[in-house]
Amino acid sequence: MFIGIIGSGTMGIGIAQVATTSGCDVFLYDTNSAQTKKSLLILKNTLHRLVEKQKISAEKSEEVFNKIKPCNDLQDFATCDLVIEAIVENKEIKTKVFQNLEEIVSENCVIASNTSSISITSLSSELKNPERFIGIHFFNPAPLMPLVEIIPGLLTKENLADEIFSLIKSWGKTPVIAKDVPGFIVNRIARPFYGEALRIAEEHIATPEQIDDAMRTLGNFKMGPFELMDLIGIDVNFSVTKTVYQDYFFDPKYKPSLLQQRMSEAKLLGRKTGKGFYDYSEKSQESKTENRDIEKDEKLYEMIFMRIISMLINEAVEAKRLKIANDEDLELAMQKGVNYPK
C-alpha cells in the first residue's frame, strides 16, 4: 500500500514510521526540504537506538527507513492509496493543500487530515470529491501513543470510517470512531484539565507545581496539566483551545487563557523551546528538587483536585449525551490518548 504524508515535522515523520513499520511504502513531502532531512536523521538515530535495545532487528530498521521516500513535489503522490496531511493547524492552508492534491491523486485515493480540532466537514466542503475525505488523528509521539481518532464528516462516504478503522488497527494502533465535533473526543473532554488548572493559577490560588502535584497524588494522573502542556507544546495546546472555543460559539467554559497566550507570544512553549511552565535547561534538576520540597497543603490539594475533576466529569457526561462516541470508546480514548487513569 502506498501512503502519502504531507508534513515532515514530528507528527509527520512519526506517522511515516508507523506506516512503514507495518510494511507500507511512504512518500513524505514538505515544502521545507531541510525539515525533511532533519526529521529523517532523527528517525535514523531513533531506529539505531531501537536496534541497540534489541527492540527491532537491524534488518527491520533498514526496511522501515528505506520505505520512506522524501519528495520535492506533490506530483509524486499520484499513485498513493491514502494521503495523510500533518501540517500547521490552519484551515485555509490545509484547504489549499487538499485542493491541489485532488488534481494529482486518483479518484480512489483517500484524503485525510491529522487535524486535532478543525471540523472535518468544513475541510471537506471545499473539495470536488468530499466523500473520500476523513479525519485520522494520531497522538504525539505517533509511534508510541496507541490511540488514533477516526472522524468521518457529514459528507464522508458510508463505510469509509470502518475501512480506515481496519487499516489503522492493522498498523497496531487503537482506533476509535468519533463524531465531527470541535476537539473530537480527547481534545474536547480534556479542555477543562488545562483550562481549570490555568484558571486556578491565574487566580493565584496555587502554583503550577502545586496543581500538578495535586493531580498526580490525589488523581493518580501520570502527568499534571502544566507538565502535559509543556510536553504537547503550549502554542499547540493554546491553538486547539481557541479552535474549540470559537467552534462552540464562544461558550465561556472553553475560554482560552490569557496566561497561555502570553507564554505563546514569548515563545515559552515548553520542552521544545527549553522552557515553559518548567525549566528544561541544565537548572531543571535543581528545579525538580525544589518542587519536591514544596509544602503540601491537604485542603488546598483537595480543592484543586475537585475543581479540575468535576469539570472533567461534566465534560465526559456531555460527550456521552451528545453521542460523540460510544461509552467504551470515550473511556478508551481518554486512557490511550492522554494516559488518564481508569
pLDDT above 90 coverage of the chain, percent = 92
Contact present, 198 and 260 (Cβ < 8 Å): yes
For β-strands 2-6 and 25-29, DSSP reports them as parallel
Tell which residue, 106, 198, 137, has the closest CA to residue 338.
137
Contact present, 130 and 153 (Cβ < 8 Å): yes
Structure-block grid coordinates of residue 140: 504525539
pLDDT for the residue numbered 296:
84
Question: Mean pLDDT over residues 65-69, rounded?
Answer: 97
Which are the catalytic amino acids? Answer: 116, 137, 149, 187
Q: Is residue 281's pLDDT more than 90?
A: no
Q: Is residue 227's pLDDT more than 60?
A: yes
Record the pTM. 0.91
pLDDT for the residue numbered 222:
93
Contact present, 75 and 45 (Cβ < 8 Å): no
Q: Is residue 97's pLDDT more than 70?
A: yes
Contact present, 231 and 212 (Cβ < 8 Å): no
CA 68, CA 85: separation in Å to the nearest integer? 16
Q: Tens digit of pLDDT for each residue in 112-154? A: 999 999 999 999 999 999 999 999 999 989 999 999 999 999 9
pLDDT for the residue numbered 285:
55
Helix, strand, coil percentages, rounded to 5, for the chain: 55, 10, 35
Q: Is residue 17's pLDDT more than 80?
A: yes
pLDDT for the residue numbered 286:
57
- Alpha-helical (H) ranges within 6-146 are 10-21, 33-52, 58-66, 91-102, 120-124
Contact present, 230 and 278 (Cβ < 8 Å): yes
pLDDT for the residue numbered 68:
98
pLDDT for the residue numbered 339:
87
For residue 30, give the 3-state DSSP assignment: coil
Contact present, 83 and 24 (Cβ < 8 Å): no
Query: Between the CA of residue 292 and those of 136, 209, 213, 219, what are the distances in Å?
Result: 39, 9, 9, 18
pLDDT band of residue 284 (cuts 50, 70, 90) is: low
pLDDT for the residue numbered 268:
97
- Number of neighbours of residue 143 by Cβ within 10 angstroms: 17
Q: Is residue 224's pLDDT more than 90?
A: yes
Question: Mean pLDDT over residues 164-173, rounded?
Answer: 98
Q: Is residue 94's pLDDT more than 60?
A: yes
CA 129, CA 107: separation in Å to the nearest integer? 8
Q: Is residue 293's pLDDT more than 70?
A: no
CA 139, CA 309: separation in Å to the nearest integer? 22
Question: Mean pLDDT over residues 18-43, rounded?
Answer: 96
Q: Is residue 226's pLDDT more than 60?
A: yes
| 268 or 282, higher pLDDT | 268
Q: Is residue 12's pLDDT more than 60?
A: yes
Structure-block grid coordinates of residue 233: 507544546
Backbone φ and ψ for 302, nearest 5 degrees, come out as -65, -40
Q: What is the mean pLDDT of the chain?
A: 94
- CB burial class (10 A; 0-12, 13-18, 19+) of residue 128? exposed
Q: Is residue 291's pLDDT more than 70?
A: no
